[in-house]
Amino acid sequence: MADIVLEPGPLVIASHNDGKVREIRELLEPYGFEIRTAAELGLIDPEETGSTFEENAVLKAETACLGSGLPALADDSGLAVDALGGDPGIYSARWAEAADGSRDFAMAMRNVEEKMQGKGAAEINRGAQFVCVLALARPGVETVTFAGIVGGTMVWPPRGSQGFGYDPAFLPDGFERTFGEMDADEKHGWTPGDDQAPPLSHRARAFAVFAAACLSGLTRNPAKA
């Protein structure tokens, strides 16, 4: 990969998902970026027509970059359940779509559990992964992507009210609390005062790859985290 120079300044988070915007903002702000969001700029939320997380992330980043004239960082992420052959995968948000157009992740988590139970196996395979791909689009420059994956187990009933989406139903490997029971620092894998703590969440892992490639010359200010 060619050297990537990303200086502090305006950067668009190419998402209309409040939970994703909040987490990406938390990851970026310590580096001194002026965060804009697609919603704030009145940018469209493109239809996700890709067949992979990478294709959808690139689509969203390039749409926001073209519409704003600014560098844009997009996320496409989701839950891949082993017993369901990797579903809901890129359709994780669609599994939460309610009749009124809103998103109901309590319903989505229940649907995942029911489909797992419906497999009829003597012992349900509860293995799962959270996958995240970040795409960085800049005017006149080739778009680049960064991936992160975290393995874990699906739990029922869901536990915790923090995080968003499927977090309450996902227990990361090696932990006793679901993502829904963790605050932002624990979920991302941060230890206050320890910048060397390994990332935990799929989004933090993707961000760590992004940071190594694009932010290595910048100083992270933990006080802004």
Report how far residue 48's alpha carbon sits from residue 50's, in angstroms, rounded to the nearest whole number: 6
202-214 vs 18-28: helix axis angle to the nearest 10? 40
Question: How many domains is the chain built from?
Answer: 1
Residue with tokens 């082993």: 82
Report how far residue 179's alpha carbon sits from residue 55's, in angstroms, rounded to the nearest whole number: 26
Residue-level pLDDT, tens digit, the chain, 225 residues: 456 778 888 999 998 888 889 888 888 888 889 999 999 999 988 999 999 999 999 999 999 999 999 999 999 999 999 999 999 999 999 999 998 988 999 999 999 999 999 987 668 899 999 999 999 999 999 999 999 999 999 999 999 999 899 999 999 999 999 999 999 889 988 755 555 667 899 999 999 899 889 887 676 665 555
Can 185 be counted among the known catalytic residues?
A: no
Asked whether the beta carbons of 215 and 31 are under 8 A apart, the reply is yes
Catalytic residue chosen out of the listed positions 75, 76, 104, 173: 76
Query: Do the domain assignments include residue 200?
Result: yes
Asked whether the beta carbons of 173 and 153 are under 8 A apart, the reply is yes
Query: Do the domain assignments include residue 5?
Result: no
- Burial grade of 29 (CB within 10 A; 0-12, 13-18, 19 or more): middle
Q: Rounded to the nearest 5°, which phi and psi values hold at 210?
A: -60, -45
Query: Do the domain assignments include residue 3?
Result: no
Query: Do the domain assignments include residue 119?
Result: yes
**Domain of 153?**
10-224
Query: Do the domain assignments include residue 2?
Result: no
Whichever domain contains 199, its CATH number is 3.90.950.10
Report how far residue 167's alpha carbon sits from residue 169's, in angstroms, rounded to the nearest whole number: 5
| Residue 221: predicted pLDDT | 60
Please give the biggest Cα pair distance in the chain.
Answer: 55
CA angle, corner 88, sides to 101 and 16, nearest 5? Answer: 45
Beta strands in the chain (DSSP E): 10-13, 34-37, 72-81, 127-138, 141-154, 170-172
Query: Do the domain assignments include residue 1?
Result: no
Cα distance between the two ends of the chain:
28
- Residue 45 CA: distances (Å) to CA of 24, 37, 66, 74, 145: 17, 11, 13, 11, 19
The β-bridge relationship of strands 34-37 and 10-13 is parallel
> Which of the 8 DSSP states describes residue 126?
-
Asked whether the beta carbons of 98 and 49 are under 8 A apart, the reply is no
